[in-house]
Amino acid sequence: MTESKENKAESVKAKGSRKAPVSAEMQSIISFLQKGSLLTKVRSVGRRYQRRYYVDTTSLMLAYSGSKKLNCLKTPYQSCISINHILEIHEDDASLSQKWKNVPLFTVVVGEQMKNLSLIAPTANIKDMWVRGLRFLVNKCTMEDPVKEERMWLEECFSKTDKNRDGLLDKDEVDALLKSLNVSTEVEHYMRERTKTQKLNIDDFIALYKEFSERTEVEELFDMYSDDQETMTVCELSAFFINEQHQKLTESELEDIIARCEQCPKLKAEKLISRVGFSMMFFLPEMNVKRPECRTIYHDMTQPLSHYFINSSHNTYLEGHQLYGKSSTQQYSRVLTHRCRCVELDVWDGDDDEPVIYHGYTLTSKILFKDALKAIEKQAFTKSNYPVIMSMENHCSLKQQVRMAKHLKKVFGDKLLVEPLSEDSTVLPSLEQLKGRVILKGKKLSPKTVNIDTENDSDEAAEVEDEEIRNRLKQSKKKKTKVARELSDCIVICQTTAFKSFEESGKIGSFVNISSFKENRASKLIENDGGRQFVQHNAYQLSRIYPARSRIDSSNYETVPMWMAGCQVVFRL
């Protein structure tokens, strides 16, 4: 152990130098990506832009040349994509139309918001080289960069706050950013003082964040127990746990901590931990200050579904603007990996008898209904085993509704809740009983009805600023939509029912019903009697509160009053 300690300085210098050997074939592919090639960028609306894309391996950036707007409208950090920000590379894009299915197309998924960059290569061979090369570089960055996630998050925060897209944050934008970050009053005052006289670019912002978020106490602890101020041995790490944590760990337990936290293979092999590894150690589950029984689900999950708040998403398929944003199946994947349990599907008649999802009577792009179902099925239970509710707005013809029912049963199989509740049921099933199940919300036919005319399933008010869209929405509210028996049979609980009054719901309401309320109406109902009737109503059935259509910028309404009234399905865009 002593000899190893003497060589620690060399080990630190060697950190990152021991890399897995790269094959000659991969070296050739990386060289090809550095030189670049002509690729065609495809938007969901069908527009195409040919650019010369290349990879800068020094700065680890995917960049392009050929845009006339590049120098005058985009800042450097916006005109290229950091390899660190690439989440994955797909060899197709379900958000594009069918005509792109047989072309050498691949999609780069970028950032926390999972934005898609769809590119067409000249040949299948060039596409293969781009896909393999980018995947190699992404995996390489993931293994070598332990602070990748933090950098991605900070750049995402910066991008969201930079409303005018000039690559700089002014005083007002910094004020908006401070509201979204969990910072102390002292830090908030300090940052405002710093930005009074100058604007912040992305590097200034990250440096300033690091300045006030740096954990000096961790650095001091490391220096206290490390002889050479560079790495810690098993014995030194043991001394830290004994003196600071009041824990006596065995040698094997300490070696396991080093194995899980240390990033440098050579240091790990020598059972040494660096500063970075020491900092990462504090994110281990056993270092969590929560009591062990609170680190997993410890609540009572056997109560009726109406007794729980449901993490919900509105217009899930949209990436941004509510009137002309892009629709994407990746949005379903994103929200489900963030433990969302209620997603929305606005379904309309599509070409070739295939239903599509988009924000009706707007300029948003379209995705296939069946592709959205596949994305939901793939991610539904990766983060949670509790049920997923699919809130459906049905605008389809009877023929395409039958098609929808077939897709639902084919994609979800036994996961789809179709079995009727027992006749003696008086409350909704519990979360434990619904584990692993997918629930479809929509209009339900009575047992003896073949099909029935109902009001249009859209429950949003026509209050957008665009006059043409507003007129279309008003006309759509007057139309009647028939419900197909095949689709109705896929709905058991969460049966859509129009709300008229609390008195009427108390008389004829059923626990399997769910009513939707516009945010303004819900607020007025709460104001009437402090929300008492609303609380009683929500004790036995679900309520869904949707945003006003005037929120075309995807802003959120105030959710706390809705939760206090017991409303379960409360949306945050």
Distance CA 40, CA 106 (A): 10
Give pLDDT, residue 302: 95
Alpha-carbon distance values, 12 to 229, 346, 405, 416 (Å): 11, 55, 60, 54
Give phi and psi for 174, each to the nearest 5.
-65, -40
Collapsed DSSP state (helix, strand, coil) of residue 461? coil
Residue 17: exposure state from Cβ atoms within 10 A (0-12, 13-18, ≥19): exposed
> 113, 156 in Cβ contact below 8 A?
yes
Give pLDDT, residue 20: 47
Three-state SS sequence of 225-246: HCCCCCEECHHHHHHHHHHHHC
Distance CA 391, CA 150 (A): 33
pLDDT digits (tens, 9 = 90+) for 395-427: 999 999 999 999 999 999 999 999 999 988 999
Enumerate domains of the chain plus CATH numbers.
Answer: 24-145 (2.30.29.30), 150-213 (1.10.238.10), 229-293 (1.10.238.10), 305-571 (3.20.20.190)
Both tokens of 171, joined, read 């005083």
Give pLDDT, residue 115: 77
Distance CA 463, CA 340 (A): 27
Measuring CA to CA, which residue among 63, 34, 61, 42 is closest to residue 116? 42
Give pLDDT, residue 372: 96
Cα distance from N-terminal residue to C-terminal residue, the chain? 55
Active site members = 314, 359
Q: Give residue 368's Cα distance to chain centre.
A: 20
Distance CA 275, CA 52 (A): 41
Measuring CA to CA, which residue among 132, 138, 106, 137 is closest to residue 39? 106
Measuring CA to CA, which residue among 93, 145, 398 is closest to residue 264? 145
Residues 6+ apart with CB under 8 A from 26: 132, 133, 136
pLDDT digits (tens, 9 = 90+) for 369-380: 999 999 999 999
Distance CA 503, CA 533 (A): 9
DSSP state, 241? I
DSSP line for 523-552: HHHHHHHTTHHHHHHHTTSEEEEE--TT-T
Collapsed DSSP state (helix, strand, coil) of residue 302? coil
Residue 316: CB atoms within 10 Å: 28
Q: Which residues of the chain have pLDDT under 50?
A: 1-20, 68-78, 145-146, 460-465
DSSP state, 36? -
Give pLDDT, residue 291: 67
Q: Which helix (H) or strand (E) is 78 found in, with range? A: helix 76-79
Strands (E), 66-125: 80-82, 86-90, 105-110, 115-120
Both tokens of 197, joined, read 């006289």
> 381, 341 in Cβ contact below 8 A?
no
Both tokens of 123, joined, read 């040949």
Collapsed DSSP state (helix, strand, coil) of residue 120? strand
Collapsed DSSP state (helix, strand, coil) of residue 149? helix
Measuring CA to CA, which residue among 290, 336, 329 is closest to residue 313? 336
